[in-house]
Amino acid sequence: LAGSTLGGLTSLASTWLTQHRQDRAARLAQDRTKRRELYAQFINEASRLYADALAHNEAEISSLVGVYSLISQMRILSSPGVVERAEVLIRMIVNTYFTPNKTLPELRGLIESHTLDPLRAFSEECRKELASI
């Protein structure tokens, strides 16, 4: 009787442990997917805003509010490093609105000098975070 009880408890513990690990793996995969979608949405919005800032002197307030909304969502889900990189990026974009508009030859020079990639630090921080999950 003790052997049957021990065997049953061992089976129950093994099943519970397996289920617990599977649930944890599913939660982590879901969390990674949610973050990846949030980062992609932020990158798309920030890219659009940066292009607009290079060509215009006035920002669309609703677009800026939308990007700040994404940063607030990151504060809930992401590491402080990712949030900090996002905030630095948005400050740089806002500051770009106050600089003179860029002409096509100036844009070409920025592209060739690799200074037209303000999203690089943010993207690399996101990659590090997603790899650590």
Other CB atoms within 10 Å distance of the CB of residue 12? 10
pLDDT at 79: 95
Q: What is the mean pLDDT of residues 69-97?
A: 95
Report the Cα–Cα distance between both ends of the chain, in Å, rounded.
45
The closest alpha carbon to 85, from 25, 23, 36, 39, belongs to: 39
Question: What percent of the chain lies above the pLDDT cut of 70?
Answer: 98
**Over 93-129, what HEC string results?**
HHHHHCCCCCCHHHHHHHHHCCCCCCCHHHHHHHHHH
What is the pTM (predicted TM-score) of this model?
A: 0.79
Of 18-22, 82-86, 112-116, least confident by mean pLDDT is 112-116
Q: Model confidence over 8-64: pLDDT tens digits?
A: 888 888 888 888 898 988 998 999 999 999 999 999 999 999 989 988 888 888 889
The answer to whether the CB of 87 falls within 8 A of the CB of 68 is no
